[in-house]
Structure 1
Amino acid sequence: MGHKVAKIYQVKLSSCDVDDSLAKHVCKRSNTTGIDWYGISQDPETNALISVSELADNGSLLDYLRSNCINLNWKTRLNFLWQISKDLLCLFNSGFTYSALGTGSFVVKNDQTVALQDFLGAFDSKQSHLFTYYAPSYMSPEFFEEYNITKECNIYTFGLMMYRFSAPFMQELKKDLDLSLVPESTPKSYTTLMRQCLNYDPKLRPSMAQIFNKLGELYLEVERNICSPITAEFRIADEFRQMCRVEFDNKLNESDTISPNDKDISTGSLLSTISNLGVDLIDIDQFANRQYIGGGGFGSIEKALWRRTNRMSF
């Protein structure tokens, strides 16, 4: 009991992809992130590199936000994002960019520490890093023109992560992201920084140092509880979050009482419950080649081709 447990992340890279400067950077960062990084190993059979680090008890930030975002007050959200910006700033200052950045790239420990889960996704910023076989999630518009990841791409991705923190009921970011749908209760100072990161023109996005400093300023002001317009913004946002959480819990409790065998449940009430729980409803006309599989609690189960993705769905 009390001993740290290691977690292994396997990445399909060759040993030549990890240079000495990255190894030195990782060793330096492992002393400051709050999550220990033990080193790099290699699978003798596949030759894939393996990153070995301390196990973060809360898992990935992606899963953590799915389960806890509505419960996080704004001070905690600012602190998490500030820690993320600190890791990225250190990575940038060491001459690296991250290849497939997103909430899945980070882990959470003890409900208070956020850090990159491994550094094998980093590459030398001076070298071009092209993705020709797939497009990572959370990418900037210019990426889809040249498929080259830059620091500016990472900053755009950071803006998308800020958006995810502002929308607690969102399970996944949608490709057709609409910034007008940012919750009205989101603090204006926060929204301003987020929109700057999401600027279509990469040259007009703030630097990671500017993001790091701004988030630090916002966090300290909220932490000190100074009487100011900014503090008032975040206090009001927290009050609204608390109201939403109570309403969400009530809706969730109501849905728990619904049984597939209840004969008095109407289609309208079922759709309303599903909608309130944040589940998207897809028009049946979007599916082709429908094939019956079996019966379910509320009807039949089919598999079909979803026209939007051109993939089979259930």
Structure 2
Amino acid sequence: MANSHKNIIHFHGITKSDDEKKYSLVLEYADGGTLRDYLRNNTITFKWKDQLKFAKEIASAILWLHDDREIVHGDLHPNNILLHQNTIKVADFGHSCLKGSDNNAGTYGVIPYIDPKFFETHSYRKTEKCDIYSLGVLFWELTSRKSPFDFENKKDDEHPSIILTILNRLREEPVKNTNAIFVELYQKCWEHEPDKRPDIHQVNSELDSIDSENIDVSTVSPKKSEEEKTENPTKLISYQGYLLRIFDNGPLYFCFLFQAIAQIHP
């Protein structure tokens, strides 16, 4: 992927350590660290036009991956996105796969950014729409500068509760005074059903239509439709086995899962 796209980290080569007999990748240096660290740094002023710039750069990189290289990144989250001279660099292709491949060996990633279909259906395959879902969460995070569902501050035994919240089709609320078109876009991206999500061309087109100088919050309307929530709690209970298999932490997780279900369905 050397010199491929300005918003994808450049691969320069491979080096080998004679002492340890290990190979290492030589990648482009990113002087700004991770997007996650940038967003959590309260000393940095992060205005709307900069938020939109980052969103466009991330989407542009994913468009190149999906179209020019037919690659699904598969693990998009702010720790896998770097910054160099205030420019986005998408990195870490360890869980990437070719479009249409049968690469479906397990579920990897950071929970809030993972396509919920992986938690719902064991046989679900990684597609471009997985990246679109992750983009939706990332776009929200650009405006909030917070971890979705406060995931970074949660203990391991609270993770099943977050998964069940997502499976119940609940999402983060839009941040006040966010551009209306941007809100509508990321809400489409994180739709539960993949067929309802836009493709990467539509995402880029929507982003290009947004005015970086005009926030335009007049039509923001958070989705709170009750019909989008899972109505039957027994359906949530049916996810236990798969969730346990993912975390592989033993039968104690049954207790945590039932607690989570009780919280969602009091």
Instruction: Say whether the fold is shared (TM-score over 0.5).
Output: yes
TM-score by length of 2: 0.65
1:36·1:54 contact (CA, 8 Å) conserved in 2? yes
Measured at CA, do residues 74 and 122 of structure 1 come closer, stay the same or move farther in structure 2, by a change above 3 Å? Answer: same
**Counterpart Cα distance in 2 of 1:43 and 1:193:** 46
1:164·1:173 contact (CA, 8 Å) conserved in 2? no
Map of 2:114 onto structure 1: 139
Aligned residue pairs, count: 205
2:16·2:22 contact (CA, 8 Å) conserved in 1? yes
The answer to whether residue 201 in structure 2 is matched with residue 217 in structure 1 is no
Deviation of residue 37 (structure 1)? 3.0
TM-score by length of 1: 0.56
The worse-fitting range, judged by mean Cα deviation, of 121-130 and 51-60 is 121-130
Map of 2:143 onto structure 1: 166
Map of 1:58 onto structure 2: 32
The sequence identity of aligned pairs, in percent, is: 22
Alignment-mate amino acid for residue 187 of structure 1? N
The answer to whether residue 93 in structure 2 is matched with residue 101 in structure 1 is no
Task: Extract unaligned runs of 5+ from structure 1.
Answer: 1-25, 226-230, 238-304, 310-314
Map of 1:90 onto structure 2: 64
Q: Which has the higher strand share?
A: 1
Measured at CA, do residues 40 and 99 of structure 1 come closer, stay the same or move farther in structure 2, by a change above 3 Å? Answer: farther
Task: Extract unaligned runs of 5+ from structure 2.
Answer: 152-161, 221-251, 258-266
**Counterpart Cα distance in 2 of 1:195 and 1:171:** 14
Map of 1:200 onto structure 2: 192
**Counterpart Cα distance in 2 of 1:36 and 1:124:** 19
Map of 1:11 onto structure 2: none
- Give 1 or 2 for the bigger CA radius of gyration: 1
**Counterpart Cα distance in 2 of 1:234 and 1:151:** 29
Q: Which has the higher contact order (CA 8 A, sep 6+)?
A: 2
**Counterpart Cα distance in 1 of 2:88 and 2:80:** 10
1:193·1:211 contact (CA, 8 Å) conserved in 2? yes
Superposed CA offset, 1:207-251 (max 9, x none): 111111221221xx22xx4xxxxx25269x9xxxxxxxxxxxxxx
1:60·1:108 contact (CA, 8 Å) conserved in 2? yes
Match of 2:41, SS? helix
Within the candidate set 158, 178, 188, 1:186 is matched to: 178
Deviation of residue 135 (structure 1)? 5.4
Measured at CA, do residues 57 and 161 of structure 1 come closer, stay the same or move farther in structure 2, by a change above 3 Å? Answer: same
Map of 2:101 onto structure 1: 127
